[in-house]
Structure 1
Amino acid sequence: MNLAPFQLSIGDSITLLKELKLFKDKGVKQLFKDGVSDDFKKTSLSGNYLKTYQSAVHNLDYDILLVDDSLFQLEIDEGGARFAYFQSPLDYISYQDYILKNFEEYTEEYESHFMLEYEQFRSEQNINSSAITIRYDLDMPNYSPNIHAVSHYHIGNQNNVRIPCDKVINPLNFVLFTIKHVYYYEWKNAIENENAVLNEILNSSKQGCSAVNNTNWIDKEKREFFLT
């Protein structure tokens, strides 16, 4: 995957997330250059999802942060690609809903005070036991037919779920896949209202995907279920 299309795809992802009112911030690192921190790598092997997520946030190991504090990591290198979504492990309530529920009167004059209270409230929320990780890997070195596909998705935490894919996908397609399956109401609203930005992206989204090379996607692999 070349750098220029990769960066353009991240830009298109941010445009879509803003349109769906899911975008919060862009990471200050460039993970495709800097990589994730050693602390995150070590913590991610522990099996503790909360600590792994907290490490990613603390070390700024994300490319995109969403309004519910879930995050995307989007990396490429000479050996392939790694795109990951980490759902926030804390229960989420929007700032607007928090204000409506807790304050009878709201004035912009005290915006900073309300925001501080909201952030404190968010940090004290219950653990979301159903928080999920979605990851896409393009992994040439570990290719093994019918065992470890070059292009594949991981769904869930600490398991061996690996769903083969016959395409090399880009960040935008990974974001689309994630948003559809995690943010149901935002996606449903955009589809039912014929959102122009989403429709335009959907109409051309697969054009940015190339087929996996035949040497890394042989006939006997095509006998099983896979994404295409």
Structure 2
Amino acid sequence: MSTAEGILSEIRELTSELISSGLCVDQNFPAMRTGAGGVISIDISGEEERDLSVTLKNIPYSESYAVLVSQRSFNLKMIDGGLIQMMYQFRNRELINHRLAFFPSPDLLEYQNNPDIYETDEMYGDIVSRNIVTSPIRFDFDRDNFVENDHPMSHLTIGQYKNCRIPVSGPLSPFLFLNFILRAFYNTPFRKYCSDIKRREYTFSSSITKSEMLNTHIQACSA
């Protein structure tokens, strides 16, 4: 079972490996904090005031994305402007919450200004097609607000839909989440430039119920 210290170390190592690969162009290393009730949080370093709820407000996605950038509310900023967040909370050494989110850039201004550069660079091959529709995704784990079938303990939200909670078999480690994002959305540069990213073993237990398994769900690696 992963500990707060182990998750902190894993995110730090993955951040360094993504920087070395060239896919990450800006970053905030993770920080560990202890709050009320002894809850240990692994979140984004820095002293800036951040409003993570901005992505849930009824405003255009481009505006909420701009706020995330201005507040530096990301662990990783990818080469195309995509933002990655990885946050965990533990209580009594037990995982109680995680927020693992990917916010693709709503537009590629540099691509619009210099399309020839991007179209000849395979680093961008997966992200500059004109038929791509940007859609944020978020893997949440929430032990305290679990309601079977209505609010699965571990779930995937696509596109900020309020009631989109696709059951997931269990919480994701930083490596599994980042590996999913890279393979799904940065496949070409991932295969060519990310060979130095070390595979980590999955260390969280399954949390999905038998009833939830009867519905469409996502089977993640589980211990």
Is 1:149 aligned with 2:152? yes
Is 1:89 aligned with 2:90? no
Q: Specify the alignment match of 1:8 in structure 2.
A: 9
Q: Which amino acid aligns with 2:196?
A: V
Query: Contact 1:12 / 1:172 at 8 angstroms: preserved in 2?
Result: no
Q: Which amino acid aligns with 2:97?
A: G
Gaps of 5+ in 1: 102-126
**Which one of the candidate residues 33, 48, 51 is aligned to 2:60?**
48
Q: What SS does structure 2 have at the residue aligned with 1:8?
A: helix
Q: CA deviation at 1:225?
A: 3.0
Name the CA shift for 1:130/1:159 in 2 (closer, same or farther; >3 Å): farther
Q: Distance in 1 between matches of 2:132 and 2:54?
A: 22
**Which one of the candidate residues 197, 202, 210 is aligned to 1:208?**
202
Q: CA deviation at 1:91?
A: 1.6
Query: Contact 1:47 / 1:158 at 8 angstroms: preserved in 2?
Result: no
Structure with bigger helix share is 1
Q: Specify the alignment match of 2:19 in structure 1.
A: 18
* Structure with the greater alpha carbon radius of gyration: 1
Q: Distance in 1 between matches of 2:171 and 2:55?
A: 28
Q: CA deviation at 1:179?
A: 1.3
Q: Distance in 2 between matches of 1:3 and 1:175?
A: 18
Q: What SS does structure 1 have at the residue aligned with 2:10?
A: helix
Q: What SS does structure 2 have at the residue aligned with 1:32?
A: strand
Q: What SS does structure 1 have at the residue aligned with 2:77?
A: strand
> Could you report, residue by residue, the CA deviation over 1:137-171 in whole angstroms, capped at 9, with x for unpaired residues?
11112212222210112122335332222222112
TM-score with structure 2 length normalisation?
A: 0.70
Q: Which amino acid aligns with 1:209?
A: T
Q: Specify the alignment match of 1:117 in structure 2.
A: none
Q: Specify the alignment match of 1:180 in structure 2.
A: 183
Q: Specify the alignment match of 1:224 in structure 2.
A: 215
- Cα root mean square deviation, aligned: 3.2
> Could you report, residue by residue, the CA deviation over 1:159-196 in whole angstroms, capped at 9, with x for unpaired residues?
53322222221122111111111113223446xxxx64
> Could you report, residue by residue, the CA deviation over 1:97-127 in whole angstroms, capped at 9, with x for unpaired residues?
94975xxxxxxxxxxxxxxxxxxxxxxxxx9
**Which one of the candidate residues 72, 80, 89 is aligned to 2:84?**
72
Q: Specify the alignment match of 1:107 in structure 2.
A: none
